[in-house]
């Protein structure tokens, strides 16, 4: 009966594996037209000429839009801008070019082939200016963004804040710089939009992590009321942050559809995914940590520099976790931005914590070596009883249990810490450890639950399922709350006509949406019970609500065995659906508790001593994330995070050409991600936990924590195997051949 938490198969699994689930790019509408973008080929300067006459004469071409003829938008196209979610876009409002691959024209044609051919025939002339493409050269001009989301960009406590701290004899100090490269998200499904106008009403079939955000951004950008915009997105083929914002192609498709008076489909190509839809920024992180001989931390400094565009600030919060992860009397963190003539970076899976744990957890491994301490024992000496920054109690922090369970599963106690001491079949073997962490986020969400006369429950919420399992956990929570079988409950999402839910980002959908689903289902249950109680023919007529049970969709008295389908009472009362709606919000939980997830990651590497080739035969991860709402989909989230972490450690890197400002490996042949053959055994699990402060279901989000810590665990294992400390990702073989 306990559906919540059970290993229920994805309710949308069959639709997906049979190819029936419609993605945005699959949408077919009558009189559909196709659009293709033309992107800039300079990184800075002005457009001097757009010659589209040839393209316009080509077969099937309906319109070529550029800054010469694009509709003028309110506030120069900036009306919808609320960085970082509402972006500074390229909407053809002027002739300025700020980065290579900025959209500069759009061709609409009858067929995709015709649009592609015509887009290739559009001639654009430029007056180029000098572009800043050198991070190191621009670094002296780094500036503070002031804030990272709601948090201050800088923090200081202890002696960094001018306070008196106890005198400690420093036994070891690590002061190193760690680097992570630009990375691109590359979900399997590229960005795609179909825009359709019916009168003054716009429908967007958009691949998005945030249907209501897309609606609001597009409405403001175009200067129309949000009620006139509907965003539909029942399935998303992965997002990882790049679909958290509506980028330029979305309003451009809407403008084009209005002009040609027909629906327009605009699907980005894989190489355009490396152009104007966000990336994880490059980071350089200067970390200083000191400790006494016992391993007690004395001070930590973490200064993160990351790049942004010249048109918008986006900050990778890489030093944020350093404020809270360990007991340490003196901590100082800074974030600084370096402006380059490139696209604006954006959130990418575990933004900040992913890059930040690489630097911090690598530095702590270096510290443990200098102190000759076992790295987990050293961390245990600094386990904070409460949030060391806010002083608030943890909502729950079972990191000790993760250390213990993970170390046992991995066999960590057999590790000889001496570098190059372990070999197997001619390969150097290394074992590395790192801690994982990510904040527990939650926002207000609403849901509606209805029982249809056919006996099916429909639960609707304006959230998104990125492939994570949102449909499934919605159905599980609704079915259990209502006392209905799972196959009588249908979850619906991905339509902005449903009640609002937050962005499916920041790992917050599970904790935001399921409480609303639970509340709506509970409200529906109450209505149904009352309906039955007032129904003369019902077995529960005139009973007290507390005596009534609703199980397997059937109603009866607790004390008797007779049950009747609740739909029968519905039929007798006139056969109309019963509807209940509810909103759930996080309240003031963040005021009285510090809400974070944690994990312990153990990695084994096996390295060819002659070639420097690194393999990762196994990873063990144990996580403190509250309760899992679905054991299968939950573990899959963690597993996928670890896989990506291995890719981050060893392969992923977008290479910026310092002359052109273009990503030169803008395809999946040269931008390397792990394949099945690259992945060994991954053993992920959660430690038993229930977080009563995040939400009534006790579950924190798990979309992002799985990637954190993995790159450091691998890098620490590489050091153990080789004695070579790689501080700049990815750990490619050239860095191990010295």
Pairing of strands 229-232, 264-267: unpaired
Q: Which is nearer to ligand MOS, 309 or 468 (CB)?
A: 468
Query: Residue 366 and residue 53: Cα distance in Å, rounded?
Result: 62
* Best CA proximity match to 408, nearest among 7, 707, 642, 685: 685
Least Cβ distance, residue 242 to ligand MOS (angstroms): 8
Phi, psi (deg, nearest 5) at residue 623: -130, 145
Least Cβ distance, residue 616 to ligand MOS (angstroms): 23
Q: Which is nearer to ligand MOS, 506 or 641 (CB)?
A: 506
Q: How far is Cα of residue 644 from the mean position of the Cα atoms in its chain?
A: 12
User: Is 278 a binder of ligand MOS (CB under 6 A)?
Assistant: no
Across the strands, what pairs with 337?
143, 306
Q: Which two tokens stand for residue 258?
A: 């209005």
Q: Which is nearer to ligand MOS, 65 or 466 (CB)?
A: 466
Stretch 208-237 residues interacting with ligand MOS (CB under 6 A): 209
In the list 25, 190, 213, 239, the residue contacting ligand MOS (rule: CB under 6 A) is 239
- The residue number with the shortest CB distance to ligand MOS is 241
Q: Measured between alpha carbons, how far is residue 647 from residues 183, 333, 617, 722 in Å?
A: 11, 27, 14, 20
User: Is 241 a binder of ligand MOS (CB under 6 A)?
Assistant: yes
Helix axes 631-650, 353-371, angle to 10 degrees: 70
In the list 92, 247, 347, 602, the residue contacting ligand MOS (rule: CB under 6 A) is 347
SS3 track for 622-648: EEECECCCEHHHHHHHHHHHHHHHHHH
Least Cβ distance, residue 383 to ligand MOS (angstroms): 27
Angle ∠(200,203,206) on CA atoms, nearest 5? 145
User: Is 706 a binder of ligand MOS (CB under 6 A)?
Assistant: no
Mask for 575-614, x = binds ligand MOS (CB under 6 A) = ----------------------------------------
**What SS3 class is residue 496?**
coil
Least Cβ distance, residue 424 to ligand MOS (angstroms): 37
Q: Residue 336: count other Cβ atoms within 10 Å of its Cβ.
A: 19
User: Is 640 a binder of ligand MOS (CB under 6 A)?
Assistant: no
Query: Residue 271 and residue 277: Cα distance in Å, rounded?
Result: 11
User: Is 348 a binder of ligand MOS (CB under 6 A)?
Assistant: yes
Least Cβ distance, residue 114 to ligand MOS (angstroms): 35
Least Cβ distance, residue 467 to ligand MOS (angstroms): 12
Phi-psi region of 19 (alpha: psi -120 to 50; beta: other; left: phi over 0): left
Least Cβ distance, residue 191 to ligand MOS (angstroms): 14
Q: Which two tokens stand for residue 165?
A: 């701290």
Q: Which two tokens stand for residue 711?
A: 């790159």
Beta strands in 226-317 (DSSP E): 229-232, 264-267, 283-291, 297-308
Mask for 387-426, x = binds ligand MOS (CB under 6 A) = ----------------------------------------
User: Is 349 a binder of ligand MOS (CB under 6 A)?
Assistant: yes
Least Cβ distance, residue 503 to ligand MOS (angstroms): 7
Least Cβ distance, residue 344 to ligand MOS (angstroms): 14
Stretch that binds ligand MOS, among 87-95, 101-109, 169-177, 239-247 (CB under 6 A): 239-247
User: Is 506 a binder of ligand MOS (CB under 6 A)?
Assistant: yes
Q: Which two tokens stand for residue 197?
A: 């106008």
In the list 356, 505, 586, 634, the residue contacting ligand MOS (rule: CB under 6 A) is 505
Length of the chain: 738
User: Is 184 a binder of ligand MOS (CB under 6 A)?
Assistant: no
- Whether 526 sits among the annotated catalytic residues: the reply is no
Pairing of strands 548-551, 489-492: unpaired
Stretch 77-106 residues interacting with ligand MOS (CB under 6 A): none
Helix axes 211-222, 249-260, angle to 10 degrees: 60
Contact (Cβ atoms closer than 8 angstroms) between residue 281 and residue 182: yes
Least Cβ distance, residue 422 to ligand MOS (angstroms): 36
Q: Which is nearer to ligand MOS, 283 or 348 (CB)?
A: 348
Query: Residue 81 and residue 220: Cα distance in Å, rounded?
Result: 8
Q: Which two tokens stand for residue 134?
A: 């050198």
Q: Say if residue 356 is exposed, middle or buried (CB neighbours under 10 Å; 0-12, 13-18, 19+).
A: buried
Helix or strand (DSSP H, E) at 11: none
Query: Residue 5 and residue 3: Cα distance in Å, rounded?
Result: 6
Least Cβ distance, residue 244 to ligand MOS (angstroms): 5
Least Cβ distance, residue 414 to ligand MOS (angstroms): 37
Stretch that binds ligand MOS, among 220-228, 240-248, 571-579, 724-732 (CB under 6 A): 240-248
* Best CA proximity match to 725, nearest among 397, 436, 368: 368
Q: Measured between alpha carbons, how far is residue 440 from residues 507, 543, 596, 637 in Å?
A: 7, 42, 5, 15
SS3 track for 574-608: CCCCEEEEEEECCCCHHHHCECEEEEEEEEEEEEC
Pairing of strands 61-66, 123-128: unpaired
Number of H helices, E strands in the chain: 15, 29
Across the strands, what pairs with 604?
431, 618
Stretch that binds ligand MOS, among 176-184, 245-253, 348-356, 572-580 (CB under 6 A): 348-356
Stretch that binds ligand MOS, among 218-226, 299-307, 343-351, 654-662 (CB under 6 A): 343-351
Query: Residue 654 and residue 280: Cα distance in Å, rounded?
Result: 9
Least Cβ distance, residue 429 to ligand MOS (angstroms): 33
**What SS3 class is residue 136?**
helix
User: Is 645 a binder of ligand MOS (CB under 6 A)?
Assistant: no
> Number of residues in contact with ligand MOS, rule: CB under 6 A?
11
Query: Residue 258 and residue 262: Cα distance in Å, rounded?
Result: 7
User: Is 244 a binder of ligand MOS (CB under 6 A)?
Assistant: yes
In the list 351, 432, 462, 645, the residue contacting ligand MOS (rule: CB under 6 A) is 351
Query: Residue 581 and residue 514: Cα distance in Å, rounded?
Result: 13
Stretch that binds ligand MOS, among 25-33, 238-246, 398-406, 546-554 (CB under 6 A): 238-246
Q: Which is nearer to ligand MOS, 24 or 209 (CB)?
A: 209
Query: Which residues are identified as catalytic?
Result: 704
Which residues form the interface with ligand MOS (CB under 6 A)? 209, 239-241, 244, 347-349, 351, 505-506
């Amino acid at each position: 009966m306990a559906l919540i938490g059970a290993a229920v198969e994805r309710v949308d699994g069959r639709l997906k594996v049979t190819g029936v689930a419609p993605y945005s790019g699959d949408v077919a509408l009558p009189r559909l037209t196709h659009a293709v973008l033309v992107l800039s080929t300079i990184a800075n300067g002005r457009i001097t000429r757009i010659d589209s006459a040839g393209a316009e004469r080509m077969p099937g071409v309906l319109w070529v839009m550029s800054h010469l003829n694009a509709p003028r938008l309110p506030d120069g196209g900036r009306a919808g801008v609320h960085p970082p979610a509402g972006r500074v876009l390229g909407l053809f409002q002027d002739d300025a070019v700020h980065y290579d691959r900025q959209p500069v024209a759009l061709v609409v044609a009858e067929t995709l082939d015709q649009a592609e051919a015509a887009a290739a025939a559009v001639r654009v002339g430029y007056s180029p200016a000098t572009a800043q493409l050198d991070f190191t050269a621009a670094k002296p001009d780094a500036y503070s963004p002031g804030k990272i989301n709601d948090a201050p960009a800088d923090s200081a406590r202890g002696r960094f804040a001018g306070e008196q701290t106890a005198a400690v004899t420093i036994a070891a100090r690590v002061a190193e710089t760690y680097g992570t490269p630009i990375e691109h998200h590359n979900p399997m499904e590229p960005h795609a939009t179909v825009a359709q106008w019916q009168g003054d009403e716009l429908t967007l079939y958009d691949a998005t992590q945030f249907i209501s955000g897309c609606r609001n951004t597009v409405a403001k950008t175009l200067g129309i009321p949000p009620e006139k915009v509907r965003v539909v997105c029942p399935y998303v083929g992965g997002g990882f942050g790049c679909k958290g914002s509506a980028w330029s192609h979305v309003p451009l498709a809407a403008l084009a559809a209005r002009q040609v008076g027909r629906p327009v489909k605009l699907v980005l190509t894989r190489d355009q995914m490396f152009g104007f839809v966000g990336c994880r920024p490059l980071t350089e992180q200067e970390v200083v940590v000191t400790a006494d001989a016992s391993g007690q931390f004395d001070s930590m400094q973490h200064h993160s520099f990351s790049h942004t565009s010249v048109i918008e600030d986006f900050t990778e919060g890489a030093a944020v976790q350093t404020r809270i992860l360990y007991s340490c009397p003196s901590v100082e963190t800074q974030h600084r931005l370096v402006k380059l003539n490139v696209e604006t970076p954006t959130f990418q899976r575990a933004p900040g914590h992913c890059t930040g744990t690489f630097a911090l957890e690598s530095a702590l491994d270096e510290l443990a070596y200098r102190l000759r301490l076992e790295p987990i024992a050293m961390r245990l000496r600094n386990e904070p009883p409460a949030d060391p920054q806010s002083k608030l109690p943890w909502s729950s922090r079972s990191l000790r249990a993760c250390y213990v369970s993970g170390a046992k599963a991995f066999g960590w106690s057999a590790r000889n810490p001496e570098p190059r001491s372990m070999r197997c079949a001619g390969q150097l073997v290394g074992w590395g450890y790192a801690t994982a962490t990510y904040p527990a986020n939650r926002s207000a969400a609403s849901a509606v639950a209805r029982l249809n006369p056919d006996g099916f429950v429909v639960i609707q919420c304006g959230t998104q399922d990125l492939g994570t399992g949102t449909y499934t956990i919605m159905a599980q929570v609704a079915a259990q709350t209502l006392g209905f079988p799972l196959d009588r409950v249908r979850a619906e999402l991905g339509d902005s006509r449903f009640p609002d839910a937050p962005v499916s980002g920041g790992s917050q959908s599970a904790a935001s949406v399921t409480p609303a689903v639970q509340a709506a289902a509970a409200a529906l249950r109450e209505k149904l019970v009352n309906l039955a109680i007032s129904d003369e023919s019902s077995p529960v007529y005139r009973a007290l609500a507390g005596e009534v049970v609703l199980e397997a969709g059937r109603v009866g008295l607790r004390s008797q065995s007779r049950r009747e389908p609740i739909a029968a009472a519905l039929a007798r009362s006139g056969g109309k659906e019963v509807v209940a709606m509810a909103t759930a919000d996080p309240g003031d939980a963040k005021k009285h508790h510090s809400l974070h997830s944690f994990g312990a990651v153990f990695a084994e590497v096996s390295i060819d001593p002659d070639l420097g080739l690194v393999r990762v035969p196994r990873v063990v991860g144990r996580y403190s994330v509250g309760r899992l709402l679905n054991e299968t989909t939950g573990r899959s989230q963690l597993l996928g995070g670890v896989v990506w972490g291995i890719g981050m450690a060893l392969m992923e890197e977008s290479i910026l050409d310092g002359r052109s400002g273009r990503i030169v490996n803008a395809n999946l042949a040269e931008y390397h991600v792990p394949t099945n053959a690259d992945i060994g055994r991954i053993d992920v699990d959660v430690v038993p936990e229930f977080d009563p402060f995040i939400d009534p279901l006790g579950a924190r989000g798990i979309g992002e924590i799985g990637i954190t810590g993995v790159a450091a665990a691998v890098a620490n294992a590489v050091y153990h195997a080789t004695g070579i400390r790689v501080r700049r990702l990815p750990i490619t073989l050239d860095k191990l051949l010295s």
